[in-house]
Structure 1
Amino acid sequence: MPGPLPPLRLTGATVLRDGGLQDRTVAIAGGRISAGPYPAVDLSGFFILPGMVDLSVRALDRDGPPPTETSARAALAEAGRAAAMAGVTTGWATHLWSASGAGAAERAEACLRALDRHRAETLVDLRIALTYDAATLPATERLLAAIRRHGVDRLAFVDAVVATKRTPAFDPARLRAMAEARGLSAEALSQELAGAPVGPRELPRILCRIAEALDILGVSYGSQGDADGETREFFAMLGARICESPAALRAASLARAVGDPVVAAVSGSEAAQVPATALVRAGKCSALASGGRPAALARTAFALADDGVLDLPRAWRLVSEAPAALMRLPDRGVIAQGKRADLAIVNKATRQVEATLVAGRLVFAAGEAAMRFVDARQAAVPVAAE
């Protein structure tokens, strides 16, 4: 991780601050947004935007064979690099926790251990979120022990059985993604779950116990890929209020009707059923996640603004302030004095992220923005390679 920048002012840029775009200076000191007559870096021709908060920066459980510490460390480092290059400053890599397939729980624990040991090497604030396979109800005590031990702060329940049924919610791409996460073929997963004696709705007592423990531990949790309003209602009654990547508009509508947040993925198999832009247009999207392709977040925010769906401040809020608030991280997601200096610096002409700051550290710089920092007198600090 590069060291923090010395106190400085970023001048000449258009800044997203106080809910609007303003031509003003951003001062940074001690890793926080500050105020003061510090040396300047001229960023005219750029936007300075809050660093993005991505709830699904990468799926760690689709990386092939069971991870060694070396391979898990490499996967986490790559996730951090991809996030930094995209302007994402806080991100969750996701991992399945399941009793199905090739040891998903063991694989998840290997990644959690690797992150504990090598967290300082990641360029961004990288965390791991668990996806709990409610269809197979894997090792509850082991799950909760892992959450306590590793400080996991996010979990999503998923009903894998729904993905195997030939209903209106059936999606072959989603089925394949679930099977890959378990190290199985789509056909093998279908056969395995078809033989399950019960589904998650028949075992609410176990899921309620998990939900109660998550509440005590302060874990944010929800459900992913809800196939219909009934599925969303079931998980909401457990306390799983966050509706992630709903597979049906009805599920999103029910969530918003009762005040629950809806997170829409902008790419990947999670986005296949109900496109994120459709949810935004319908007023049913609370926050956006990348779905494993962090570079898609900024593109989507600018596209929403270009298409007149939302203005840029409101579109950018979906990828910064809103997910930060959802995850109860009040120190980031906005540019304001005293907040973390998490910033995405975007070229106005190309709409490309050319620099990313995480807690005042320049973790990525490229193109013209990199030259501006190099040219500044005080910028002689280690910078992460492109």
Structure 2
Amino acid sequence: MIINNVRLVLENEVVNGSLSVVDGVINAIADTPSSLPQAIDGAGGWLMPGMVELHTDNLDKFFTPRPKVDWPAHSAMSSHDALMITSGITTVLDAIGVGDVRDGGHRMENLQKMIEAIRYSQQHGLNRAEHRIHLRCELPHDSTLALFEQLQSLPELALVSLMDHSPGQRQYVSLEKYRIYFKGKYGLSDEEMATFEREQLQLASRWSQPNRQAIAALCRQNGIPIASHDDASEAHVNESHEVGSVIAEFPTTVEAADASHRRGMQVLMGAPNIVRGGSHSGNVAAAELATRQRLDILSSDYYPASLLDAAFRIAQQPDNGYDIPAAIALVTRNPARAIGLEDRGVIAEGKRADLLLVKAHRQQVYLDRVWRQGRVVY
């Protein structure tokens, strides 16, 4: 396969030229057009690596599309996979919640079903994207460690994040925002919300630290990358670094992002934060961290289509130090390397031919075509 007449987004530059693929691997790159008639005409679009998503809970939405609606696993997985590919995500870590902030929450109910759906569809070649597993370990819960111990040996497990969503700290320093979110999520009255809040504080006091230490130790023992989550202070970052975190997911303050950078942790922020112009929780804006050169990875989080949009928005922002190759690295090379996937994330000879042809209409980028390992999947 030859893709011709494209702007190749390489690691450090954009080159007009062509690219050839043999057996699913990039075989050669040229800064001249191909004269072969069978070459695919990219019509001047950008040819960039397929995107690598480290943290999306999008699968949840398909297993439980409405409260108390339990959707068949194959259909849910197929729909989720299609959305990943049509968003340009060729490698996805599906974030599965272990432990839950509320007994009876759908994440606990769907845990095994989602894991089995990911594994079965991947093993039988049913997916267009490559799916791996990210276990989001909710630390303030009595079931979290036992569940993690059951799942730690999954061959598809690629990342573990250590999370604490208890009120009054990290993502929810603002109790008002905490109450608005969970009252809306679970339909709680004021009295029920007060009880819920008390229960979460009690659980955090009892379980957060023991679970953090035990799960991190198992990750280090098994060579599983660890991500922190919602660190808000230098003390939080130091704690995360001490247990072995290599990725800082969604730091909520400049202080935490700066400290994560000093500790050598890759700072991951939400692409929706870029697209919307700020955090929906009132925390630090990802664009501010980009301006400070403290942004390493973008994640689509809850909105898959935001990833491509956000990368090009970063590249278009003046005076932030991110040209197109650096901005595209936020969604390709950097997340791949953060979890040890050295075979993808860049356009280079010998790398996987996970590729996106991207075009623009009135400054809005859109996907024209997607290949995974040289095969057209969109």
TM-score by length of 1: 0.82
Whether the 8 Å CA contact 2:93–2:158 is kept in 1: the answer is no
Aligned to 1:111: 114
Shift in alpha-carbon separation, 1:271–1:144, aligned structure 2, 3 A: farther
Counterpart of 1:45 in structure 2: which amino acid?
Answer: G
Other-structure match for 1:95: 96
The one-letter amino acid paired with 2:55 is S
For residue 346 of structure 2, the aligned residue among 334, 338, 348 is 334
Aligned to 1:347: 359
Kept in 1, the 8 Å contact 2:81–2:127? The answer is yes
- Displacement of 1:227: 3.2
Partner residue of 2:41?
Answer: 42
Q: Partner amino acid for 2:222?
A: L
Q: Structure 1 residues 149 and 65 mapped into 2: Cα distance closer, same or farther (>3 Å)?
A: farther
Q: Which residue identity is paired with 2:291? A: R
SS at match of 1:129: strand
Deviations 1:72-102 (A, max 9, x none): 3333222221121121111122222115321
Code of the aligned partner of 1:277: A
SS at match of 1:280: helix
Measured against aligned partners, the alpha-carbon deviations of 1:280-335 in whole angstroms (never above 9, x if no partner) come to 11211111111222211111111122222321111111111011111110000001
Corresponding residue of 1:383? none
Q: Is the 8 A contact 1:33 1:340 kept in 2?
A: yes
- Distance, in Å, in 2 between the alignment partners of 1:163 and 1:92 is 29
**Per-residue CA distance 1:25-56 (angstroms, 9 max, x = gap):** 11011111113997411112211011111122
**1:148 — aligned with what?**
153
SS in 1 for 2:166: helix
Q: Which has the higher mean CA deviation after the structures are superposed, 308-317 or 167-176?
A: 167-176
How far the C-alpha of 1:174 sits from its partner, in A, is 9.1
Matched with 1:20 is: 13
Residues 69-218 of structure 1 aligned to structure 2 (within 5 Å): 71-99=72-100, 100-102=102-104, 104-119=107-122, 120-149=125-154, 151-162=156-167, 168-170=173-175, 172=177, 176=181, 180=185, 185=188, 188=192, 191-195=195-199, 196-197=201-202, 199=204, 204-218=209-223
Shift of 1:18: 4.1
One-letter amino acid of the counterpart of residue 377, structure 2 = V
- Provide the C-alpha distance between the structure 2 equivalents of 1:72 and 1:275, rounded to a whole number of angstroms: 36
2-structure distance, mates of 1:240, 1:184: 35
- Give the AA of the match of 2:370: T
RMSD between aligned residues? 3.0
8 Å Cα contact 1:9-1:40 kept in structure 2: yes
1:200-251 residue CA offsets vs partner (Å, 9 max, x unmatched): 6975344222111112222211121223332232222222332101122221
1:252-303 deviations in whole A, cap 9, x for unaligned? Answer: 1211122111100122797632222121112111111112222111111111
Kindly indicate whether residue 336 of structure 2 is the aligned counterpart of residue 324 of structure 1.
yes
Q: Which amino acid is 2:54 matched to? A: L
Q: 1:352 to 1:139 in 2, by over 3 A?
A: closer
Residue type of the alignment partner of 1:191: T
Q: Which 10-residue stretch deviates more, 17-26 or 101-110?
A: 101-110
Tell me the secondary structure at the aligned position of residue 161 of structure 1: coil
On the 8 A contact 1:67/1:107 being kept in 2, the answer is no
- 1:160–1:178: 8 Å Cα contact kept in structure 2? no
Shift of 1:360: 1.1
- Which letter maps to 1:304? I
> Which range moved further: 98-107 or 15-24?
98-107
CA distance in 2, matches of 1:166, 1:290: 17
Q: Give, in whole Å, the separation in 2 of the partners of 1:306 and 1:165.
A: 31
Structure 1 residue 339, shift from structure 2 partner: 0.7
Partner secondary structure for residue 123 of structure 1: coil
- Output aligned runs, 1:369-384, within 5 Å: none
| Residue 301 of structure 2 is aligned to residue 300 of structure 1 | no
* Structure 1: distance between partners of 2:262 and 2:308: 28
SS in 2 for 1:351: strand
- Equivalent position of 2:224 in the other structure: 219
Q: Could you tell me which of 354, 357, 360 is aligned with 2:371?
A: 357
Structure 1 residues 234 and 169: CA distance shift in structure 2, 3 A: farther
- Contact conserved, 2:11 with 2:325, CA < 8 A, in 1? no
Q: Secondary structure at the match of 1:25?
A: strand
Structure 1 residue 9 corresponds to structure 2 residue 2: yes
Distance in 2, matches of 1:135 and 1:178, equals 19
* Counterpart-to-counterpart distance in 1, 2:317 and 2:170: 36
Any conservation in 2 of the 1:277–1:304 contact (CA below 8 Å)? Answer: yes
Q: Which runs of 5+ in 2 are unaligned?
A: none
Deviations along 1:142-190, one digit per CA (max 9) or x if unpaired, are 312223145321111111214579974547269727984xx67496566
Q: Which amino acid aligns with 2:160?
A: L
Determine the structure 2 residue equivalent to 1:279: 289
What is the alpha-carbon distance in structure 1 between the residues aligned to residue 50 and residue 179 of structure 2? 30
- Matched positions, count: 354
* 8 Å contact from structure 2 (residues 219, 225) kept in 1: yes
Report the CA distance between 1:66 and its aligned residue.
7.0
Q: How many percent identity over aligned positions?
A: 22
- Residue in structure 1 matched with residue 326 of structure 2 by the alignment: 314
8 Å Cα contact 1:321/1:334 also seen in 2: yes
When residues 326 and 214 of structure 1 are mapped into structure 2, their CA distance, relative to the original with a 3 A threshold, is same
